[in-house]
Amino acid sequence: MDIHTVLKNKFGFDQFRPGQEQVIQDVLEGKDTIAILPTGTGKSLCYQLPGYVLNGSVLVISPLVALMEDQVANMKRYGEKRVIALNSFLNYTEKKQITANLERYKFIFISPEMLLRKSVKNSIERLNLSLIVVDEAHCISQWGFDFRPDYLHIGEFFAYEGRPPVLALTATADKKVIRDIGHYLNLEEPTLHQYPLDRPNISYTIMDLDSETTKTRWIQQRLLETKGPGIIYVASRRRADDLSSLLQEKGLSIAAYHAGKEQEDRAFIQEQFISGEINWICATNAFGMGIHKIDIRQIIHEHIPQSIAGYIQEVGRAGRDGLQSAATLLYSHEDEGRTRFIIQGDIPTEKEIRHYTSLLQKNIPSDEAAEMAKITATGKRIIDYYLERMYLEEVVRRMEKLVQDKEFQLQTILRLIYSTTCIREMILTFFGESSIIKPESCCSVCGTVDDRWLQGPQVTNLAKRPLNWTERLIELLG
Amino acid sequence: MNLSSILLTIINKLDGERTIYAGFHLLRGKRSGQTLQDVEYYGLKPFFGLLPKLRIVTFDEAANRLIELGYIATSDDSLVTVTEKGRLELSILPSYRFYGWDYRGREMIFYGRLTLTVQTMSNIRAGKKSFMPIQKDMNIQTFVKKLLYELPIKNPLFSRQVGEELTIGIIRSEMSDLQKVIFTHRLAGYGLSGWTWDQLAESLKLNPFTIRLMFIESLHMLLTVIESSTDLQLLQKMAADIKVSSYLTESSTKTKRLFDQGMSIEEIATARQLKVSTIEDHFVEMSINNTDFPLQMFVSEEETIAVIAKMNELGTKRLRLLKDEFKSLTYFQLRLILGARTGEGA
Ligand SMILES: Nc1ncnc2c1ncn2[C@@H]1O[C@H](COP(=O)(O)OP(=O)(O)O)[C@@H](O)[C@H]1O
Ligand SMILES: [Zn+2]
């Protein structure tokens, strides 16, 4: 069947978006494929469509359970019944029932830790799989900004005889990450599809301000005069709280978001931002994964991000609706040192690692040991993975290498910040793209940023008023 | 209600016989011999484990406030007492309805199950099958899924039934009007997001921490009522395993098992490769928690009566002072007497 017909009949679209057709063709030809497509351009179509053309089931490995549930719900909404999510939320009976009847499903979503369970693995190997998809594939690389060690194991699963082609999907990956994806997933000469990361509707501005006070003043002014919804990314939890309450006092509709907030508060804030109840979020980089909001107009960075890839991921949350949006990065001369300090704080030093392992030997629970050795949660994730696989000395060397690499990434983003050539061009070159068409409103180096559209009435913080408690319960439950 | 006033109440009960950090360990629910003993001797069960994640800086702030206000004073040996001014303040403080000893922070698990259930019902009512769950904790999600699996959630009347049951529970719990508002605004549903602590604080013109404390108290009150309300079936299911069932630490439970098999303290110490003093701590814990603790195996009834009488006469539970009066008794024996015969267990 012609894939254009399938596109029309099954999905109701008249044409492919850039990249989709080429990726799908390679997948249908049975090649291992790495596809880098910007968020919102329709990555899921790249495996859904082949799923209908090929015989057999499609296995989709996805790192975030919330994301997975979301995708499954979406597909169901569009009428696909043969879709299932296999993750640790299922209870024992459900799991057993599902794994016994896996061949019934066309699309099987699975989390990495489930994939490696023996029982699950066995029933999957018995299946007639037409394609294996690795979603958010950049998570496999420790050079990526979102390293998830449990992702590294999934390559082990791919080593069997006669496995179907693998499609690795991600929105952002530089050369190193691409190499890691191919390597850890055991891909065979994968074809690489990389599609314009450029988001012509986003303008880039980078500004040198002399201190935190000046930045605060700038942000305050900006929020009072221009439109949201928007996200302000800051370097620390403390700063997120402080800046947010300061702006709140000015009557702005804003809330702070960071990992130090209680889980429920985070969920409430996210919900309020998506529904438009809150206009701005002042957040650490903990905010953003899995947020579906298409009309974000501004992203403001109040610090130097840790890497270009991370920066692009954060900026890319703006303007998913295709309308004009603005990215602004504010920095001051103190930022470089601060960012370096934060980065290095996450990577355990030799002394910390030795302390940690000696505590483990004394049978101290690993969480406690990490806390006593002053190792962060991210740091623990990383060394736990390596300690399982290699000698202590080697782990230490790995960490030293990691520090160097992070420093390299920092140097790259510093070059972007001090750049005298077009910011857009710099970013795209960094990701290996060569043809660049500059939009009318390009960047602060080009000097073409036109922000007039941004002017306008801002949402002010309407004092929330609580309901009477019985009314509230009735609104919730009827 | 705020942390300082709770702390003032605690210090008052400790009666000038402990340092201020006894209050910290109590609020965090530290399961050490000393803290567990204090809980019993000084009648502090309501406050035990009230704030398992309390940070030392927050605690210090509250303590410093009390000092600045002149409500408490510390002596040279760091013991803390309530001043005359503090006593005056205490007399106008409302009484608390915490049951920390029973819940120890686990009330938040109940709350987690409840919010997720309400969110699910609310979405189903609105015809929404998928939504971002407000609780990310796997155990809570699994629990709620299992719970709802057995119920007629598709029935349009069912969500109202849940609402009614919750309303009855709230009314019976006798939480204050303010607590009712806080409680219901920490629930969320379709098109109705929950309120953060900061948002509640701002609109109710209260300190966020105060609101949190009021919320914890309201959960304790609700849970207590649920326990005795057989007609609140769904809520009873949600409250399953929330109340602490064994008040002994895990280690003490093991010791008790060996003791019940007839082993002596020394034998238990050898068998468990623990110090005798540790095993003795376990026995003190048992004397506090088990009403059928065989005190007479360790000390005679006459001695026990004499110690209690002296304690009342001197108005102190400080071991060193009692030891001076009863040279023939060991500290261990004194602790057992106090454990078995003072506090609520007596
Ligand atoms: N060829 C197409 N034409 C029109 N819309 C498309 C096409 N492909 C995908 N979409 C739509 O684009 C949106 C984003 O797709 P999705 O796969 O969720 O993006 P991604 O995973 O890349 O962020 C979806 O609403 C999808 O229906
Ligand atoms: Zn430019």
In this predicted structure, which of A237-241, A271-275, A431-435, B82-86 has the lowest mean pLDDT? A431-435
CA B245 / ligand 2 centre spacing (Å) = 66
For residue A71, the ligand 1 atom closest to its alpha carbon is 18
Contacts of B133 in chain A (CB under 8 A): 66, 69
* Structural domains counted in chain A: 2
The closest residue, in CA terms, to atom 26 on ligand 1 is A42
Residue ending a domain, choose from B38, B69, B96: B96
What is the CATH classification number for the domain harbouring A89?
3.40.50.300
Report whether B336 contacts B279 (CB < 8 A).
Answer: no
B30 at interface of A, judged by CB pairs closer than 8 A = no
B244 within some domain? no
> What are the DSSP E strand ranges found in A155-278?
166-170, 191-194, 202-208, 230-233, 254-257
Token reading at A273 = 């931002």
A394 within some domain? no
Taking alpha carbons only, the member of B186, B192, B191, B189 closest to residue B121 is: B189
Check whether B345 has a pLDDT greater than 50.
Answer: no
* Structural domains counted in chain B: 3
Partner residue facing B196 (CB), from A268, A470, A474 = A268
Mean residue pLDDT of chain A comes to 87
Partner residue facing B195 (CB), from A268, A474, A477 = A268
Q: Are residues A187 and A273 in the same domain?
A: no
Rounded (10°) angle between helices A392-417 and A377-389: 140
A350 within some domain? no
Q: Are residues B234 and B111 in the same domain?
A: yes
In this prediction, residue A143 carries a pLDDT of 60
What is the CATH classification number for the domain harbouring B291?
1.10.10
Q: Nearest-CA distance from B181 to chain A in Å?
A: 5
Give the model confidence (pLDDT) of B28-56 as tens digits.
Answer: 998 777 888 888 888 899 999 999 989 89
User: For residue B209, what pLDDT band results from cuts at 50, 70 and 90?
Assistant: very high
Give the model confidence (pLDDT) of B257-272 as tens digits.
Answer: 999 988 999 999 998 9
A92 at interface of B, judged by CB pairs closer than 8 A = no
Q: Are residues A159 and A208 in the same domain?
A: no
What would the mean pLDDT of A159-187 be, rounded to a whole number? 86
Check whether A145 has a pLDDT greater than 70.
Answer: no
* Range list of H helices, B82-191: 84-92, 100-103, 107-125, 138-149, 158-173, 177-185
A residues 446-465 closer than 8 Å to B (CB): 463-465
What would the mean pLDDT of B191-199 be, rounded to a whole number? 94
In this prediction, residue A330 carries a pLDDT of 97
In this predicted structure, which of A67-76, A413-422, B35-44 has the lowest mean pLDDT? A67-76
* Distances A118 to A57, A92, A121, A157 between C-alpha atoms, Å: 20, 15, 5, 11
Give the model confidence (pLDDT) of A379-406 as tens digits.
Answer: 888 888 788 778 889 889 888 888 888 8
Q: Are residues A208 and A169 in the same domain?
A: no
Check whether A88 has a pLDDT greater than 90.
Answer: no
What would the mean pLDDT of B176-196 be, rounded to a whole number? 96
Q: Which residue has the higher pLDDT, A75 or A73?
A: A75
Check whether B253 has a pLDDT greater than 60.
Answer: yes
Q: Are residues A117 and A249 in the same domain?
A: no
Residues with Cβ within 8 Å of B117's Cβ and at least 6 positions away in sequence, in order, are B144, B147, B148, B162, B238
Contacts of B188 in chain A (CB under 8 A): 267-268, 271, 476
On the 0-12 / 13-18 / 19+ scale of CB atoms within 10 A, A321 is: middle
Contacts of A469 in chain B (CB under 8 A): 170, 177, 180-181, 183-184
In this prediction, residue A41 carries a pLDDT of 76
B219 within some domain? yes
A269 within some domain? yes
Q: Are residues B217 and B286 in the same domain?
A: no
A188 within some domain? yes
B166 at interface of A, judged by CB pairs closer than 8 A = yes
Q: Which residue has the higher pLDDT, B178 or A86?
A: B178
B32 at interface of A, judged by CB pairs closer than 8 A = no
A69 to B130: CB separation less than 8 angstroms, yes or no = yes
In this prediction, residue A465 carries a pLDDT of 87
DSSP letter (8 states) at residue A238 = H
Give the model confidence (pLDDT) of A277-334 as tens digits.
Answer: 999 999 998 888 667 788 999 999 999 998 887 898 889 889 988 899 999 999 998 8
B47 within some domain? yes
Q: Which one of A94, A263, A264 would you mutate to disrupt binding with B, by most B Cβ within 10 Å of its Cβ?
A: A264
Q: Are residues B61 and B182 in the same domain?
A: no
A466 at interface of B, judged by CB pairs closer than 8 A = yes
For residue A171, the ligand 1 atom closest to its alpha carbon is 22
Q: Are residues A112 and A212 in the same domain?
A: no
Check whether A160 has a pLDDT greater than 80.
Answer: no
B195 to A466: CB separation less than 8 angstroms, yes or no = yes
A456 within some domain? yes
Q: Residue B249 and residue B34: Cα distance in Å, rounded?
A: 13
Range of the domain at A43: 3-194
B178 within some domain? yes
In this prediction, residue A216 carries a pLDDT of 97
Q: Are residues A161 and A290 in the same domain?
A: no
Check whether A161 has a pLDDT greater than 80.
Answer: no
Q: Are residues A206 and A190 in the same domain?
A: no
Partner residue facing B146 (CB), from A91, A268, A476 = A91
Q: Which residue has the higher pLDDT, B3 or B341?
A: B3
A455 within some domain? yes
User: For residue B346, what pLDDT band results from cuts at 50, 70 and 90?
Assistant: very low
Mean residue pLDDT of chain B comes to 91
pTM: 0.76
A399 within some domain? no
Residues with Cβ within 8 Å of B124's Cβ and at least 6 positions away in sequence, in order, are B153, B154, B159
A270 at interface of B, judged by CB pairs closer than 8 A = yes
CA A161 / ligand 2 centre spacing (Å) = 49
Q: Residue A378 and residue A346: Cα distance in Å, rounded?
A: 6
In this prediction, residue B343 carries a pLDDT of 60
User: For residue B67, what pLDDT band results from cuts at 50, 70 and 90?
Assistant: very high
In this prediction, residue B251 carries a pLDDT of 84
Greatest distance between any 2 Cα atoms in chain B: 75
In this prediction, residue A1 carries a pLDDT of 65
* Range list of H helices, B52-99: 56-68, 84-92
Partner residue facing A477 (CB), from B162, B183, B197 = B162
A264 to B133: CB separation less than 8 angstroms, yes or no = no
Residues with Cβ within 8 Å of B8's Cβ and at least 6 positions away in sequence, in order, are B66, B71, B72, B82, B86, B89, B90, B93
Range of the domain at B73: 3-96
CA B341 / ligand 1 centre spacing (Å) = 72
In this predicted structure, which of A256-260, A433-437, B59-63, B216-220 has the lowest mean pLDDT? A433-437
Residue ending a domain, choose from A194, A213, A231: A194
Residue ending a domain, choose from B181, B208, B238: B238
Check whether A90 has a pLDDT greater than 90.
Answer: no
A66 to B160: CB separation less than 8 angstroms, yes or no = no
B121 to A66: CB separation less than 8 angstroms, yes or no = no
B89 within some domain? yes
Q: Are residues B206 and B85 in the same domain?
A: no
DSSP letter (8 states) at residue B248 = S
Q: Are residues A181 and A290 in the same domain?
A: no
User: For residue A144, what pLDDT band results from cuts at 50, 70 and 90?
Assistant: low
B158 at interface of A, judged by CB pairs closer than 8 A = no
Check whether A86 has a pLDDT greater than 60.
Answer: yes
Percent of chain A with pLDDT over 90: 43
Residue A191, phi then psi, degrees to nearest 5: -85, 145
Check whether B81 has a pLDDT greater than 90.
Answer: yes
Q: Break chain B down into helix, strand, coil percent, rounded to 5.
A: 60, 5, 35
In this prediction, residue B17 carries a pLDDT of 87
A477 to B134: CB separation less than 8 angstroms, yes or no = no
For residue A37, the ligand 1 atom closest to its alpha carbon is 22
Report whether A187 contacts A61 (CB < 8 A).
Answer: no
A268 to B133: CB separation less than 8 angstroms, yes or no = no
Q: Which one of B129, B198, B202 would you mutate to disrupt binding with A, by most A Cβ within 10 Å of its Cβ?
A: B198
In a 13 Å sphere around the CA of A4, the CA atoms on its Cβ side amount to 2
A69 within some domain? yes
Pocket of ligand 1 (CB under 6 A): A 13, 16-17, 20, 37, 39-45
In this prediction, residue A165 carries a pLDDT of 93
Q: Are residues A98 and A116 in the same domain?
A: yes
What is the CATH classification number for the domain harbouring B73?
1.10.10.10
Q: Are residues A206 and A186 in the same domain?
A: no
B163 to A255: CB separation less than 8 angstroms, yes or no = no
Q: Are residues B231 and B258 in the same domain?
A: no
Partner residue facing B193 (CB), from A262, A268, A468 = A268
